[in-house]
């Protein structure tokens, strides 16, 4: 991973860009004084000492006492694990003390950006209570093995529609038994069709729908809704598609 990308991702764990740069310097060199960090990074000594103090406070570095004060990094796995655990505790506190949950909106919500779309899919799958219908390319479905495994273990009905069932999903006995799979076209067909291969459709518990296109781009857009009429129309369209697949399979036998 490039240094800029590494520093950018460290910021997701609560470090400023300057703190992340100092932390990376410590990771590369194991033990350093503030003066040495300033020399290696080009950051002023006053800012380096402020950054090192912040790293100690964040749990990303330790102080080594000796003839001269040195700093050593907390290993990246330990630092990240601790931050995630602390955030989980904060999440539980916020959930317990948050205002009363609002009723589900029946409007239409636009979700922009591939990352945000994936976040929404993760949350929808995590909170499924009875059944899911998931139509997408094999490559995209493969990304959700862990979530689908969890659904299978919770005895949630899983219906997948794709060009091909991901091999990774067939390796799990629980998933093999729980998944109902309908093949529509071939992988090469989806790849050639372009737009069709990028389509995503997800129905959760006959109540929530997410649909749109995914290209792993920040410009990706999906529509999310719990509007009853829209959900019913969407369900009927997917049901008809499944029936056409069944008819085609029978005709080919």
* 173/149 same-domain check: yes
Give me the chain's average pLDDT, please: 88
Q: DSSP strand E in 12-149: where?
A: 61-64, 70-73, 108-112, 131-135
62, 94, 126 - which closes a domain? 94
pLDDT value for 104: 57
Instruction: Average the pLDDT over 154-159 and give the result.
Output: 93
In this prediction, residue 47 carries a pLDDT of: 96
Q: Are residues 134 and 206 in the same domain?
A: yes
Torsion of CA 26, 28, 30, 32, to 10 degrees: -50
Residues 120 and 206 in one domain: yes
Binning pLDDT at 50, 70 and 90, where does residue 103 land? low
Residue pLDDT, tens place only, 193-248: 444 458 999 999 999 999 999 999 889 999 999 999 999 999 999 989 898 888 88
CB 166 within 8 A of CB 145: yes
Q: What is the mean pLDDT of residues 52-66?
A: 93
> What average pLDDT score do residues 115-129 get?
94
Residue 59 belongs to some domain of the structure: yes
Domain count, the chain: 2
**CA angle in degrees (0–180, nearest 5) for 177-118-176:** 10
Biggest CA–CA distance in the chain, Å, is: 84
Of 46, 71, 94, which marks where a domain is finished?
A: 94
> Rounded CA gap, 55 and 142, in Å?
37
Does this model's pTM top 0.75? My answer is no
Q: What is the pLDDT of residue 170?
A: 79
What does the pLDDT read at residue 164? 87
Provide the domain limits for residue 234: 108-252
Work out the angle at residue 110's Cα, subtended by the Cα atoms of residues 166 and 91, and round it to the nearest 5 degrees.
75
Averaged pLDDT for residues 163-190: 77
Same domain, 76 and 183: no
* Interstrand relation of 179-183 and 157-162 (parallel, antiparallel or unpaired): parallel
> What pLDDT is stored for residue 190 in this prediction?
47
Please report whether residue 102 resides in a domain.
no
For residue 192, pLDDT over 80 is answered with no
Evaluate the CA torsion angle 34, 35, 41, 42 in order and state its sign.
positive
């Amino acid at each position: 991973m490039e240094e800029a990308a590494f520093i950018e991702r460290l910021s997701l764990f609560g470090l400023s860009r300057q703190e992340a740069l100092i932390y990376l310097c410590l990771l590369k060199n194991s033990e350093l004084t503030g003066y040495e960090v300033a020399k290696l990074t080009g950051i002023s000594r006053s800012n380096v000492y402020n950054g090192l103090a912040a790293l100690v406070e964040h749990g990303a570095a330790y102080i080594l006492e000796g003839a001269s004060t040195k700093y050593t990094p907390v290993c990246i796995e330990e630092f990240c694990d601790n931050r995630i655990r602390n955030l989980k505790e904060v999440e539980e506190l916020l959930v317990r003390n948050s205002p009363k949950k609002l009723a589900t909106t029946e409007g239409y919500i636009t979700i922009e950006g591939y990352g945000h779309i994936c976040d929404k899919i993760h949350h929808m799958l995590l909170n499924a209570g009875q059944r899911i219908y998931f139509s997408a390319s094999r490559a995209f479905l493969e990304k959700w093995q862990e979530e689908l495994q969890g659904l299978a273990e919770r005895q949630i009905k899983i219906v997948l529609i794709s060009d091909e069932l991901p091999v990774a999903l067939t390796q799990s006995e629980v998933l093999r038994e729980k998944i109902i799979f309908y093949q529509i076209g071939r992988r090469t067909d989806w790849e050639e069709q372009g737009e069709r291969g990028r389509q995503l459709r997800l129905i959760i518990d006959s109540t929530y729908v997410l649909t749109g296109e995914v290209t792993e781009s920040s410009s990706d857009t999906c529509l999310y809704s719990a509007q009853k009429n829209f959900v019913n129309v969407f369900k009927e369209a997917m049901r008809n598609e499944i029936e056409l697949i069944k008819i085609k399979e029978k005709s080919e036998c």
